[in-house]
Amino acid sequence: MNNINHIKYCKKCIIPETRPHTEIGEDGICSGCKYFDQRKNIDWDKRKSELIKVFNKYKNKGNNNYDCIIPSSGGKDSTYQALKVLEFGLRPLLITVTTDMLTPIGRKNIDNLKNKGVDYLEFSPNPVLRKKINKLALNTVGDITWTEEVAVSCAVTRFAIKMGIPLIIWGENPENENGGPEENADFFDDIIQKHDDEWFETFRTNGLKSSDILDTWKKEGVKDIDLQPYTFPDKNEIQKNGTIGIFLGHYLPWDGHKNAEFSIKNGLTTYEKWVEGNIVSYENLDNYQMRIHDYFKFLKFGYDRTTDWCCWKIRRNRITRNEAKNLVKKFGGKFPSTYLGVELSEILQEIDCSLDEFNLICDKFTNKKLFKCNNKNELIKDENQNLILNNSEFF
């Protein structure tokens, strides 16, 4: 097996070429930086008037109380989205797909947002089945929060259809914010109608389809109806309802840090310090399992949430590239022994997984080409279980 000793990193930010869907061009610049750079040429006043046009099309229309749905975790971005939409005079229905391990801060922030004066729906897919799926997803595709991510797209779109509310307002376009194929980076509306199942599976399911789960557990009595929260609705149903999704970030300049400042002013509770494995105190506060999700990104691709935040901050001139390297060196890629102060073993108990079992799953998903191994090709770990990147000299 050839080791990867020299991963290519974007020259402007520090995203590695190993990030899925990211391209680093011949000029050494990644697609995320390229798309961000293009934002300075955007006429944001024009975009705002385009947004008003979209809103006017859906305001007070249809046979229901609501003009739109906002998928919401109660976090910094959804608080910003909801309050902005209220400013524009729309009547939104907020929908939270509650996380498997909702934290007290997460609960507080959901309640904070409710108390801004909105109708709010909390949907909790069958927790018994969800725990099982989270373990299966961890074991098969290395993603413990698969259910949360998939249900946000699938269940929310199903509610939109069932309730006859055609407009869904998402936050940022992840493929524009972080880099992705050019043809997806400019999507701003009709996200749901224009994209097909293949797109959904490529960009939203992390390699595990609900039909795979059904195949695995059919004999145990799991039916396809049980997996509806994780199955994207039929295209015909979507078209019949006229469901469209827009990215608010296409119309109003998107900045996660500013969203946080805005939301904190509006009552968002943050963690008392930087969240473990991150360099901010104000995101991913609603789910104890999030750090495991991020750690698997590190095992598979050699970077984690610390790098993501450094890249967003570099692009917005909040830190230099050298400062970012030092931050990643200090905080990035660490074994997730706690999250929000809770021990890993306690977090794993939720999905009936022991620490030994977890370590085996970690090793299974670790890309050995990226990390230092001994001469028996076994991963080298320090006393805190941390791995060592082959190219750690970069940092």
Interacting residue ranges for Zn ion, rule: CB under 5 A: 10, 12-13, 30, 33
Specify which residues 123 forms β-bridges with: 97
CB 369 within 8 A of CB 304: no
Shortest reach from residue 323's CB to Zn ion, in Å: 15
Shortest reach from residue 226's CB to Zn ion, in Å: 41
**Pick 10 or 160: Cβ nearer Zn ion:** 10
**Pick 30 or 279: Cβ nearer Zn ion:** 30
Q: At what angle do helices 305-315 and 31-38 cross, to 10 degrees?
A: 30
User: Beta 244-247 vs 167-170: how paired, if at all?
Assistant: parallel
Query: The dihedral of CA 166, 145, 78, 183: what is its sign?
Result: negative
Shortest reach from residue 264's CB to Zn ion, in Å: 27
**Pick 27 or 111: Cβ nearer Zn ion:** 27
Shortest reach from residue 35's CB to Zn ion, in Å: 10
Backbone angles phi, psi at 126, to 5 degrees: -30, 110
Structure tokens at 84: 């902005």
Shortest reach from residue 177's CB to Zn ion, in Å: 12
Shortest reach from residue 24's CB to Zn ion, in Å: 8
Buried b (16+ CB within 10 A) or exposed e, 340-373: beeebeebbebbebeeeebeebbeebbebebbeb
Catalogue the E-assigned strands of 172-271: 244-247
**Pick 31 or 145: Cβ nearer Zn ion:** 31
Q: Say how far apart CA 228 and CA 158 lie, in whole Å.
A: 9
Shortest reach from residue 15's CB to Zn ion, in Å: 5
Shortest reach from residue 83's CB to Zn ion, in Å: 30
Q: Say how far apart CA 252 and CA 100 lie, in whole Å.
A: 31
Q: Say how far apart CA 334 and CA 276 lie, in whole Å.
A: 9
**Pick 13 or 344: Cβ nearer Zn ion:** 13
Q: Say how far apart CA 133 and CA 205 lie, in whole Å.
A: 13
- SS3 of residue 125 by DSSP: coil
CB 347 within 8 A of CB 128: no
CB 298 within 8 A of CB 286: no
**Pick 30 or 138: Cβ nearer Zn ion:** 30
**Pick 15 or 68: Cβ nearer Zn ion:** 15
**Pick 108 or 321: Cβ nearer Zn ion:** 321
- What is the end-to-end Cα distance of the chain in Å, rounded? 24
